[in-house]
Structure 1
Amino acid sequence: MYIWSPSVQVYAQKGKIPPKTTIPKTAVQDTLRNGGIENKSERIEEKKPIEQKIRHSSQLEVDGLIVDETITKVGRDFYEIFHNKWEPPMFVKNFTILIKEFPTRGNGALVQIQVNEEIIFEQQLQPRYDIIEELAGYGVAIAAEYLENNRLQQQLDADGKRSIERF
């Protein structure tokens, strides 16, 4: 790195070649740090601990989404109540809940709850808030039970055991 100073300008006017003036490497690094620009080797070293923490691609995914695909106010009310009451079961990961609405004749609507693209709940809604609230609570219970059963089934499959039959 060269420094341009008034003495260099005098050499240039006289037609002489200016002497090379260099800055020690440590001074450049200090200047870069103080100026807000980090040294490239420092940035690489800072990323290593973060990369070591992330071991699986499943840790990079956004987990436990509740997606709203409602159209009417009735469907939106159902979604909001569901979302407010929702508390995911412990140790359950890698799931997405989709609340989908299909309009019907009159003021009603057909609402579906899908967990990981599997329909687990489908119900006709009426435009009465107390009924919407009751059905949303019922949908929360069904979704939580489905996710918990799915987690238990995955654990049994990993252990090589058969699932418990329910009647």
Structure 2
Amino acid sequence: MAFFRKKFPMALFLVALGSLALAEVETPSSSLPTAPREPQVPQGAIEEEEALEEGEATEELSRQFRLGEPGLSGVIVDRTITMMGKTFYRRFSQLSSESHILSSTTLSVHERPDARWGSQVWVAENNRILFQAALPPRLSDIDRYAEAAVEQVEQLLVQRSIMQALESDPDLADEEI
């Protein structure tokens, strides 16, 4: 108890001094420099600016990544196994890179090897077979097959694009026609 009697007046003084310090409001003097205040912007203007920035960002993303278009085009996927199949794929891809029609189409070249009859090769787009042939066992004949494959695939793609242009029905999807 004696401890509280000795220290109580001092504690009361500190509490009173602290409350006075908190209650006193400092006003900046005119001689001291103050930080400039930001101008008050209406809330509606901020929302419009954010919407404008968001629209510009979406535009930029769609321009960079072309979100409305498929990801890759003009790709030829190699699904061959044997040396004959790889040779056919190399020659087919070389010839198709020169063609404007095939350079904008995604194709895949598949092979089913057969030791007795030669390899069976087919070129497909979206699981639709556009060309199919049995490669002979001789490598020298493969170039002719690749040239024939490029011609046939080009012809089928042109025919299909013409048919789609003539039979465009907005009520039906591509597979429903």
Alpha-carbon shift at residue 107 of structure 1 (Å): 7.9
Alignment of 1:3-152 (within 5 A): 47-51=57-61, 53=63, 57-86=67-96, 87-89=99-101, 95-106=105-116, 108-152=118-162
Q: Greater helix percent: which structure?
A: 2
Structure 1 CA distance for aligned equivalents of residues 84 and 114 of structure 2: 11
Identity of aligned residues (%): 26
Calculate the TM-score normalised by the size of structure 2: 0.55
Structure 2 CA distance for aligned equivalents of residues 125 and 107 of structure 1: 8
Calculate the TM-score normalised by the size of structure 1: 0.58
Alpha-carbon shift at residue 44 of structure 1 (Å): 5.3
Superposed CA offset, 1:80-125 (max 9, x none): 00000002428x96x4311110011248211111122111221111
Structure 1 CA distance for aligned equivalents of residues 36 and 79 of structure 2: 62
Instruction: List gaps (5 residues or longer) in structure 1.
Output: 1-22, 27-42, 161-167
Alignment: residue pair count: 122
Structure 1 CA distance for aligned equivalents of residues 76 and 37 of structure 2: 53
Alpha-carbon shift at residue 45 of structure 1 (Å): 7.2
Structure 2 CA distance for aligned equivalents of residues 49 and 107 of structure 1: 55
Please say if residues 117 and 134 of structure 2, whose CA atoms lie closer than 8 Å, have aligned partners that are also in contact.
no
Please say if residues 62 and 68 of structure 2, whose CA atoms lie closer than 8 Å, have aligned partners that are also in contact.
no
Q: Over aligned residues, Cα RMSD in angstroms?
A: 3.7
Please say if residues 115 and 143 of structure 1, whose CA atoms lie closer than 8 Å, have aligned partners that are also in contact.
no
Please say if residues 72 and 106 of structure 2, whose CA atoms lie closer than 8 Å, have aligned partners that are also in contact.
no
Structure 2 CA distance for aligned equivalents of residues 97 and 118 of structure 1: 10
Please say if residues 111 and 121 of structure 2, whose CA atoms lie closer than 8 Å, have aligned partners that are also in contact.
yes
